[in-house]
Copies of this chain bind each other. A is one copy, B any other.
């Protein structure tokens, strides 16, 4: 299935959580914009990704949305302005 993941990580209290979340996402998905990742995952890969993220984020202040489409062909993508950001752009 094709996955789009967007995170909103609170950096006021702890900067480390953001970099941990970024590194976890980069193991599974492609980084396309500051807090946006996308890519093809199997069910078990998605399960592992979610487990790692759940063990990292703070449920009361951080937020992650995962959109799933059964097939990448059913999704198209437009960019306005600056397109692919360099993947080492952490924040």
* A43 shortest CB reach to chain B, Å: 12
Q: How far is the CA of A53 from the CA of B82 in the complex (A)?
A: 13
Q: How far is the CA of A70 from the CA of B35 in the complex (A)?
A: 24
* A70 shortest CB reach to chain B, Å: 6
Which A48-91 residues have C-beta < 8 A from chain B?
Answer: 50, 53-54, 57-71, 74-83, 85
Chain A contributes a number of interface residues (CB within 8 A of B) equal to 37
* A40 shortest CB reach to chain B, Å: 14
Per-residue 0/1 for A22-61: is the Cβ within 8 Å of any B Cβ (1 yes, 0 no)? 0000000000111110000000000000100110011111
Q: Which of B32, B67, B81 touches A58 (beta carbons < 8 Å)?
A: B81
